[in-house]
Structure 1
């Protein structure tokens, strides 16, 4: 069996190298912008992609490919698809930060905030904040286009891959809409928050990337279903961990403001359980979480009602379900080991 730690490092390095090639190619297309504007795109988009996080989604693409029998040596078959998912993730994050009015991401200034300062620093006309939001939205759209370009760059079985990639995008965009709409409506129950978590994050992070790798390898349909049985609980557990970090995470580690989800009125499994157990009082506390004292009170409510403990138990239950499903899937031993490790990385993280 291949050492899992070595494989994890190798996949990330391979993806980073291929991303560098793709980003250089796409930046060359922008020569017509001129040096100053190309530098802005490079700083707020290309550098954001380069400085990406854990490369979880590309890793799931790669191991979906390997689980389906894709040969280790044919990297040109799968790396473009893996990079497409990572570039799409950059697009989603940039746009998400605009919607959430977030000031930081991954410990650095968000694109729309930086572009607002860029406008002000040059004394340009018009509203600086509107420029920042508009320019960041355009960079997010550009990244969305770059993701297509990456997928077209040598991916095998392109029609099948594009079908999965399209489904992934439809689901994550619609899931984000559900997230925004539920925050506006308020008071979502456990069932609704589970659907939101599945579509805005879980399927997009684990299941569809696995399916994309499977499609590139020309995998068996029965294996695709088996991969879903592993992926769906891992994806839900991933979002549950994200929800916990959104309330209790250390900003120095998460790179995001403390209690941001509470301030924005995000409807999550944590808030659903707390509201369910604390009734009208709990709903009022959560609704008032708009400043530091309100966030502190909401955190105390989530702990005192046992909502945090319930979420942690659910994460463990979901992981057990995923592990059992993977054993039954009968994938190659190296793929099984890597997917087990990825499940742990996705759910036991601090950022």
Structure 2
């Protein structure tokens, strides 16, 4: 199957990945509900989480495979789809850590399970129940990520080759999550610290390692790892930086989260670090006072947005995105990557950075 400039590189991935996830969950539901019918709401919550998403990680894995000369094959779609379970694990746990109320416009998993507790009039604290249940669902996703990968149908030799980037990706995203948690605890204001969190929590996990996995599964990791890193790392940083900007300035109808929610949660993003470095002393002190204030109203959000813009932080972040995109684009000039995959990966630069949600 050839990619044309008239097709979306995501269109090659979304439908088959969705199909593989649905089939996998249907089989697992039968096994889990056999343990007890009380577990049905757990599967419902997980299916709701997995129903959304842009499928970017499977897309980069798939096009990493195609760039290494791999043919379109149902087994690569299954292996790539396994990354959505890792993503679900990370998001479910992240929402618990951040005490987020929503995800993609719907109640976050822990809120959904807390509501179940309330409606059922069970004993104890609904919030504690929701947190505990969400942690377990996230753990289940991590286990199923491994199971789906191993049972993808690719040859054992290919799965063995893919094992190193697959394992590294899981390790690095958890390490990145901890660095992010630490940044909040330390009230980090350093641009360098923010970039390190982005590097491990987003850039490597979202783009570089999925590309590496695709190359490894096609048995060309050693040849393509450098090219894919030169493309994937800057693009991953641009992707996360766009996400952080949307977390402050995005339209709730598009992002699925309340306006300014990242400011209320006190996320120590590069946007925040740039603002605190560029703002005057009095404005920076006021910004710090509002950052992480759960009851922050829209007047406060608007004031913080204005400071981010007027301090030059927003423009600085947009310039960084442009620079990272340029680096990723230059990396695609390599003839080591198959031409149809180069065209798809070029389009994925736009999909990852010029977005509204």
1:26 is aligned, of 25, 28, 48, to 28
The alpha-carbon distance between structure 1 residues 275 and 339, as it changes in their structure 2 partners (threshold 3 A), is same
Q: CA deviation at 1:45?
A: 0.4
Which blocks of at least 5 consecutive residues in structure 2 are unaligned?
Answer: none
Residue 57 (structure 2) aligns with? 57
- Paired with 2:329 and 2:300, the residues of 1 have a C-alpha distance of 39
Contact 2:275 2:312 in 1 (8 A): yes
Quote the RMSD (CA, aligned, Å): 1.5
Contact 2:67 2:337 in 1 (8 A): yes
In the TM superposition, what whole-angstrom CA distance separates every residue of 1:254-313 from its partner, at most 9, and x where no partner exists? 011221221222111111111111143343232222212332222111000111111111
Residue 155 (structure 1) aligns with? 154
Q: CA deviation at 1:7?
A: 4.2
Residue 102 (structure 1) aligns with? 100
Which blocks of at least 5 consecutive residues in structure 1 are unaligned?
Answer: none
- Paired with 1:185 and 1:283, the residues of 2 have a C-alpha distance of 17
Q: CA deviation at 1:220?
A: 4.6
Q: Does 1:331 align with 2:332?
A: no
In the TM superposition, what whole-angstrom CA distance separates every residue of 1:291-342 from its partner, at most 9, and x where no partner exists? 1233222211100011111111110111011001111253111100110111
Alignment of 1:243-322 (within 5 A): 243-289=244-290, 290=293, 291-292=296-297, 293-322=299-328
- Paired with 2:9 and 2:261, the residues of 1 have a C-alpha distance of 34
- Paired with 1:313 and 1:294, the residues of 2 have a C-alpha distance of 26
2:138 is aligned, of 140, 156, 170, to 140
Which deviates more from structure 2 when the two are superposed, residues 96-105 or residues 328-337? 328-337
Instruction: State the TM-score, normalized to the length of structure 1.
Output: 0.95
Q: Does 1:197 align with 2:198?
A: yes
Q: Does 1:213 align with 2:219?
A: no
- Paired with 2:190 and 2:200, the residues of 1 have a C-alpha distance of 16
Contact 1:88 1:144 in 2 (8 A): yes
Runs of 4+ deviating beyond 4 Å: none
Contact 1:103 1:113 in 2 (8 A): yes
- Paired with 1:32 and 1:130, the residues of 2 have a C-alpha distance of 26
